[in-house]
Amino acid sequence: MSTPVARSKPLPSTTAPSRHVYDVIVLGSQLGGALAAALLAKRGYSVLLVEHDGTGPGYEHDGFVLPYAPFVAPALKTMPAVEEAFTELTLTAALQRNLQPHAPELQLVMPRHRVDLHTDAVRRRAELVREFDAEGERILADLTATALQHEPSDAFLKEGPPLPPDGILESWNLKKRVGQHPGLQTEPRLAGEDEPSKLLRGLLPFVVHLDQPATPLARTRPLSQALQTPWRYPGGRDGLRKLLFERLVELGGDLLSPENTDTYVVEELHFEGGRFSAIKLLRSDTLYRASCLVSATDAGALRRLITDRKKHRGLSEQLDLSTLKSFLFTVNWVLPEAVLPRGMGELLLLDTQDAELGPLLVQQHPARTPEGKEDPALRVICAGGFVPASVRDLGEGYLQSLAMRIDAHLDALMPFTKDKRLLRSAPYLDAGAVRGSRLMPHPHYVFDTEAVLGVTGLKQHTPTKNLLLAGREVLPGLGLEGEFLAGARAVRLVQEMLKKKAVLKR
């Protein structure tokens, strides 16, 4: 059997950047950092993005490139502030062109029911009434209302509020803003105890990075966005990141990525007094200096780059406020398209009746070769469920048993396909040298901080004044939108910090 490796279509090749001093260095592969880097380059700043922890859009295993996890992307129109950022980068058309609907948009699979939730209201009503009679009308009303529940908070987030607030003045101003938007406190409409309502609420963990969201905004906005139009983006989260990376390079930014160089992992951060000064890469003696560092990697990964934690205790203690609670564990099957059950959806929520594993999100993908070719006769079935972070310490045998439990649910979903399976692969077990935190595309966190509106985590400002955070731990309760919002706000904070005049608009 061949050794699986991370694989993707390469970006333009590069060598080490010729310059060693920048306005801003962005550290990490998360989407907030990718957006921040591209926006800063667009606004005329010199930017170096060091991917450090990237995985690329898929890993290669036995001749196929497989996804790391199922991924649902809300429509851009449901994230107005994010849409503005993509418009500035002239990426709106490219993003909308690449977003693809599932057929049907979402399928619910329960022990005694299967429901196709089409976007078309007439077909959706017919499905729910067919399965649940008069109760189907109430479920339809709740579902329709839920898909619109993000709208009352659109204006608030478009204002660019300081989330999380830093200091008494920002907290006071934010509280005043919140009072002007009563829709932020609207309770979730999808609250029924019927099977489909409970299963639909099970989609929430797949669209946030917060363990057990408890407040109305955290429980309504990300779920509402996903239910309105659950799109698929080619390459998932990593495909979105690559779109932003390519734009960064077009705008003159420098990029160090596993796709274009073998020197992209940071060994340590350098400080001068209480300020960040430079990064040092593995296998390199060069120091890359910048006036500001934007971190878009997990807090734990950033903490490991601080060699003198006593000297930088304040920064270390802030990063310690985040704890990984669970992550999305995925299994991929490669199957002939002809053996899939008739009527099986391209995106489905599967009620496993397993209290530990919870619902599985199952997504169909075209089978791809390492050369990027798609085989229309083959499909990749990617199924993921959340497991406690502690399972990583239980050994490979336990992880194999988790994969086998997911296999059993897929066997029940797709009977008579087991003998037709061309490949079974679990990224956490089979993605070659890509291990640890780099292989958790969808973690959940808990925070020892105040959760403003129930969506915030770590503050963007840090005790190291020229080091900002823009990762998924800043606004974990807003999921994908939160990552982009953190990146957009980081751009504003960098501009305030550097006070660079006569910035050239491109």
pLDDT tens digits for 409-445?
A: 999 999 989 889 999 999 989 987 554 445 578 999 9
Domains by residue range for the chain, with CATH: 5-60+236-322+448-498 (3.50.50.60)
In the structure, what pLDDT confidence band is assigned to residue 6 with cuts at 50, 70 and 90?
very low
DSSP 3-state of 341: coil
pLDDT at 290 over 70: yes
At residue 168, the 3 state secondary structure works out as: helix
Q: What is the DSSP letter of 453?
A: G
Q: How far apart are CA 486 and CA 155, in angstroms?
A: 17
The two counts, helices (H) then strands (E), for the chain are 14, 18
Q: What is the DSSP letter of 3?
A: P
The pLDDT, as a whole number, for residue 304 is: 93
Q: How confident is the model over 67-94, as pLDDT tens digits?
A: 999 999 999 999 999 999 999 999 999 9
Q: Tens digits of per-residue pLDDT, 331-386?
A: 999 999 999 999 999 999 999 999 889 999 999 999 999 888 899 999 999 999 99
Q: What is the CA radius of gyration of the chain?
A: 22
Residues 222/478, Cβ–Cβ less than 8 Å: yes
For the chain, the farthest-separated pair of C-alpha atoms sits apart, in whole angstroms, at: 70
Residue 475 φ/ψ, nearest 5 degrees: -125, 60
What mean pLDDT comes out for the span 486-491?
98
Q: Are 73 and 83 a contacting pair, CB within 8 Å?
A: no
CB 292 within 8 A of CB 278: no
State pLDDT tens for residues 292-313: 999 999 999 999 999 998 899 9
Whether the predicted pLDDT of 1 surpasses 50: no
The one-character DSSP state at 164 is: S
For residues 190 and 146, the answer to whether their CB atoms sit within 8 Å is: yes
Distances in Å between the Cα of 216 and the Cα atoms of 140, 150, 176, 190, 506 are: 20, 11, 18, 11, 40
Of residues 104, 102, 95, the one with CA closest to residue 77? 95
Q: Can you read off the two tokens belonging to residue 56? A: 């690329």
Output the pTM of the full model: 0.93
DSSP-derived 3-state class of residue 477: helix
> Which segments of 197-258 are extended strands (E)?
254-256
CB 501 within 8 A of CB 311: no
| Residue 234: Cβ-neighbour burial (10 angstroms; 0-12, 13-18, 19+) | middle
> DSSP letters along 176-196, please?
HHHHT-GGGGPPPS----SHH
Return the higher-pLDDT residue of 292 and 284: 292
Pairing of strands 467-469, 287-295: parallel
The answer on pLDDT for 499 being more than 90 is no
User: What distance in Å separates the CA atoms of residue 333 and residue 340, rounded to the nearest whole number?
Assistant: 11
